[in-house]
A and B are shown apart, each in its own frame.
Chain A
Amino acid sequence: MTNLAKRLWPDTVASRAILILVAALLAFHLLGYWAYRVGVENLATAGQDRGLAERIVSIKRAIASLPQAPERDRVAHDLSSASLEVHWSKVSLVLGTAPMTERTRAMEARLKELAPELAAESFRVGFADDGALGAGEANAYKHMMLVSVQLEDGSWVNFSSSALGASQHLDWGLTAIMLCFAVAIVVVALLLLRWATRPLRDLALAAERFSLDQVPQPLPETGPVEVRRAARAFNTMRERIRSLVTERMQAMAAVSHDLRTPITRLRLRSEFLEDDATRSLIDADLGEMEAMIDSTLDYLRGGTSSEPLRPVDLASVIETIVDEHVDQGQRVSLIGLNSAPVQGRVLSLKRAASNIIGNAVKYGQTATVSVTDAGDSYAVLVEDDGPGIGEADRERVFHPFVRLEESRGRQTGGSGLGLTIALAIARSHDGSITLENRTEGGLRVTLLLPKLDRTAQHVADMRG
């Protein structure tokens, strides 16, 4: 129930505006309708009452002029109409003891005013509903107004009318028109407000899509003044964030870049050391520093590179990396396809794959790499026999500078950027990387890259 209420509650600017508009229009219409009804009614009632009073006077006169009782009764019948029934009798229909209510008095005064002749007559006014009749006749005259006028001989002419005091019936035609009106207003207002609030929705969309990686597309500063201001503020804010991040990244890149010169010097200096053992240790440290700088710069580039996209044999890239590891005495084996053409950047793909394979070798004893066909893509599966990664950490390891040292051994080092870079590169190639623990233990990393499509292959054929 609360859910329904929540769903129906107008939550957008447009729906609230429509609600306000409809409520106001409805109130306006109802008031107008009421005023109209009252005015028309007064007019109609005034005419009716006058006619009635005059008819009462003339009928009374006509009956009074007839001497015989049966004649009088017949004429009274003949002068009856749908709105006014007339009877002649020896007694008054309205009891002399009839209670004087508010409307009785008002009616009496009104009849006297409308037909001054009546004022001279002896007459009684009563409403059947107010107990103006005896209990026996009350039912026959339900809701009727009764007027009894006495003749000179003491007999009575009794009038009963349903034209006055009858309940008002509703005007359905007018109500239908008003409903149509309301529906039309809602429809028009909905269209107009959707148009009016469109810049707001665009603003929200732009804020949602906000990303520093993409080419900035400033929000158009159009629409109503509030929206224009919001859009301008949003553009300014985005520019500020952008320049802030760019500045930081440039600083980081500059430092990384500048570190190369002292590292080169150290490499050269170490060459002059007499102690071979110390020299090789220093070289190893310098190698590690270089690797950190490289991965930091790669990370800052966010998977993009100046290298053009070209048809590349993914299998050959993987082979080169696996061979390198084998040459370093590591237990890495390669199975699967011998050819896997994709659209890619060789250096980037090499970096991504060697980060993944490097991790497998670092955390496990052996690594098995396979290149397989996965429908629209080629899959590079890298399986190790290490401790694997818990479900909870699988998302986290892709974040920059995250290292799972606690579970994956302490001495492994690294910058914590390997998977971050690999993922950025995979995504820049419309690919993906997923992690899962193998049932037999160890981690399986799957790198998916879309196959070189037929048209690209064809173009390459033409050129080749």
Chain B
Amino acid sequence: MRWQEPARGSTDIPTETQAETGPVTTTADDHGHILVVDDDPQIRLLVARFLQRHGYQVTGAPDGRAMLEALAHSAIDLIVLDLMLPGRSGVELCRDVRATSQVPIVMLTARTEESDRITGLEGGADDYVTKPFSPRELLARIRAVLRRARAGQGAAIAQASAIVTFDGWRMDLRRRELQSPSGTLIDLSTGEFDLLVAFVEHANRVLSREALMQFAKTRTSDDPFDRTIDVQISRLRRKLEADSRGGQLIKTVRGAGYLFASQVDHQQGQPA
């Protein structure tokens, strides 16, 4: 719950910002211990303060060495890792961590570099936030990833079943892509994709609106414009209808909710 900076990293924090950190008023540390790895000292500091305010204990690290040091000395629940780091890049660090640990990782990537996003996720990151990120979006992702990890659906599971197939459709959970049976990429919004993930993870089971709402909102919980689940589902259906075989996958169960009617197979994703 205290702002902890490993000895090596603390020297590069300007005194002016150090003064800002002075009174840390967070009280609850049961939310978890987060390691923030970013070479910009002020961003490290501000993210730390922001997360502390929301009940997390935060440790900062300016580079890979400090990160590994912190991992060795404290019990870290989640790493926020910048992709652009001096020395070893975020992707390499991500692989290093994955070699020994399943600690969840949220990657910070540049918005317009599509390849960064892909390599980040394939390096073993659980999720990503594009820079310049909105702090609340980062918070939402951290919460979702921690929740998944605590439910035992962390990186290990996500990695084991990166590709999901149903009725000829192919879903790449890591790249967040959906391919129709004819091999055409179908573009889904974040909400639609999360909804579909919820469906394939609970195939052939009736899901209530409330349950679906929970799943679909894991990524953008603060979005004030989130439409009702019914609108999301009708949009998802319309997109699945692009292939004639996809229209009837999501069935309405009167008075109970929705049911995803298909055999779902999980398979290991091909190494990229």
Contacts and interface: CB of A to CB of B under 8 A. Distances in A.
A320 B187 contact: yes
B113 interface: yes
Interface stretch (B94-102, B132-140, B155-163, B250-258): B132-140
A310 B42 CA distance: 40
Nearest to B190: A320
B65 interface: no
A320 B178 CA distance: 14
A338 B50 CA distance: 43
A459 B184 CA distance: 11
**Interface residue tally on B, bucketed by range:** 35 or more
B114 A339 contact: no
B225 A310 contact: no
Contact of B131 (A260, A310, A346): A260
Interface in A318-365: 319-320, 323-324, 327-329, 338-339, 341, 346-347, 350
Given A261-B40, A265-B43, A341-B182, A316 B227 contact: no
Contact of A268 (B50, B115, B185): B50
Interface stretch (A43-51, A146-154, A290-298, A382-390): A290-298
Nearest to B168: A464
A268 B41 CA distance: 13
B132 A316 contact: no
A94 interface: no
B180 interface: yes
B194 to A, nearest CB: 14
A442 B267 CA distance: 51
B241 A313 contact: no
A102 interface: no
A265 B46 contact: yes
A378 to B, nearest CB: 12
Interface string B148-174: 000000000000000000001010000
A169 interface: no
B114 A313 contact: no
A351 B42 CA distance: 32
A263 B242 contact: no
Q: Which interface residue of A316, A329, A339 has the most chain B CB atoms within 10 A?
A: A316
Q: Which interface residue of A268, A271, A324 has the most chain B CB atoms within 10 A?
A: A268
Nearest to A270: B135
Interface string A263-304: 111011101100000000001001000100010011001000
B271 interface: no
B110 interface: yes
**Interface residue tally on A, bucketed by range:** 35 or more
B268 to A, nearest CB: 17
B134 A313 contact: no
Interface string B65-79: 000000000000000
A315 interface: yes
A452 B184 contact: yes
Interface in A218-263: 257, 260-261, 263
Q: Which interface residue of B180, B182, B184, B187 has the most chain A CB atoms within 10 A?
A: B184
B26 interface: no
A310 B189 contact: no
B243 A339 contact: yes
B235 A319 contact: yes
A400 interface: no
Contacts of B189: 320, 323-324
Given A265-B43, A294-B111, A271 B135 contact: yes
A328 B189 CA distance: 14
A208 interface: no
B241 A338 contact: yes
B238 interface: yes
Interface string B27-53: 000000000000010110011011000
Contact of A319 (B42, B168, B180, B239): B239
Contacts of B114: 305-307, 347
B112 interface: yes
B261 interface: no
Nearest to A290: B132
A354 to B, nearest CB: 11
B179 interface: yes
A460 B242 contact: no
Given A306-B114, A464-B179, A313 B131 contact: no
A463 B188 contact: no
A254 to B, nearest CB: 13
B186 interface: yes
A330 B170 CA distance: 33
Given A268-B47, A329-B225, A464-B170, 10 more contacts: A261-B131, A272-B49, A286-B132, A294-B111, A298-B112, A328-B225, A339-B242, A341-B182, A460-B182, A464-B180
Interface of B: 40, 42-43, 46-47, 49-50, 110-115, 131-136, 168, 170, 179-189, 192, 225-227, 235, 238-239, 241-243
13 contacts: A264-B40, A271-B50, A271-B135, A298-B112, A306-B114, A313-B239, A313-B242, A316-B186, A320-B187, A324-B189, A327-B226, A341-B182, A457-B183
